[in-house]
Amino acid sequence: MSQTSERAKTRLRNLTAIEPLLNALKTISMGNWQIALNKVTQIQHYERHYNRILVNVLPVLGDEVIRGTKPGKDHNKVIFLIIGTEHGLCGRFNDILAENAINWVRTQNPPQQYIWVIGTKMLKTLERKGISPDWAHPLPGREVGTYKQAYRMTQDWSTRYEKREFDRLVVLYNQATRGGGNKFATLTLLPFTIQPISAEPMAERKFTPAPIIETDPIGIYRRINQHFLTSSFYQVQLQSMIAESSSRYRIMEEAKRNAGDIMTALAQEIQAERKRQITQEMQELAVSAGLIDNK
């Protein structure tokens, strides 16, 4: 048997062994995709309730409104938080996001800016581009982070914002589109903006009759405010996870399709080589039997 045929058989065996791995990665990506989608739906439901409570509590606060409820005019110190990925196998997901984020940040041009990063792969991508983030944090060990983890992070940011350590926190991330691609998106997390009542459905407007608030409204506000921030940030994290999972799924699908095409070509090559060998053996038998002339 020729060396070409042996190499073809070796490649075919290797690809056959890899195919289940590609299927497993596809399944994992699809599973994470669906989990994140379900969590987004749940978070949006809770976020609407947080918004309703805030809208009813704010009028009672009077002049004691916490700084985070109103967009400030001072944007001297701005934090740009880029959410990337913790793992690979997602193509140019981080590279494209980094390029879009860098270009967008340049258009803002605040007096003082700080680059924060979530995701080890994004950190390495920025470092390759010569950018050293001012703060970096890995994504949770689990593929889909928890609300509790997001709560701890936003609680710290909210405290630092109220101490005027920075004036604005903007999250930059990839968001999945209906066509299966991704688009660059931004969200100003701090200061946050209360959703206008007129933009909500009738069932989501102010409580009727107006609630009687006996508990300290500042305490209620602080607790609901923190959950409102957390739900907004957690939803962004989930949107980023959806975009990452969809990218990884498409790449695994393409890899499986390419592997299938190569396996088909190798099988045809091996079959053709086998037919050639059989034909050669038959010719040699015919010559040895004197049935045909070997000249």
What's residue 259's pLDDT? 78
Whether residue 113 is contained in a domain is answered as yes
In a 10 Å sphere around its CB, with 0-12 CB exposed, 13-18 middle and 19+ buried, how is residue 3 labelled? exposed
As a whole number of angstroms, the distance between CA 33 and CA 238 comes to: 9
Mean pLDDT across 95-107: 95
Q: What is the mean pLDDT of residues 58-71?
A: 57
Which residue in this structure is represented by tokens 């196998």? 89
pLDDT of amino acid 295:
57
For 174, counting Cβ atoms within 10 Å of its Cβ (0-12 exposed, 13-18 middle, 19+ buried), the class is buried
**pLDDT tens digits along 195-234:** 544 445 544 555 566 666 777 777 777 788 788 889 889 9
252 in any annotated domain: no
Tens digits of residue pLDDT in 154-195: 999 988 998 899 999 999 999 998 877 899 999 999 987 655
- Residue 242: inside a domain: yes
The pLDDT tens digits for 263-279 are: 788 788 888 878 888 88
Q: How far apart are CA 183 and CA 194, in angstroms?
A: 25
Angle subtended by helix axes 217-288 and 3-61, to nearest 10? 170
Band (pLDDT 50/70/90 cuts) for residue 152 is very high
User: Which of the four pLDDT bands, split at 50, 70 and 90, describes residue 65?
Assistant: low
Q: In DSSP terms, which residues pair with 116 in a beta bridge?
A: 81, 135
- Quick check: is 16 in a domain? no
What's the pLDDT score for residue 254? 81
* Within a domain: 207: yes
- CATH number, domain with residue 99: 3.40.1380.10
pLDDT of residue 197: 47
The larger pLDDT score, comparing residue 55 to residue 158, is at 158
- Which residue segment(s) compose the domain that 156 sits in? 35-247
| Total domain count, the chain | 1
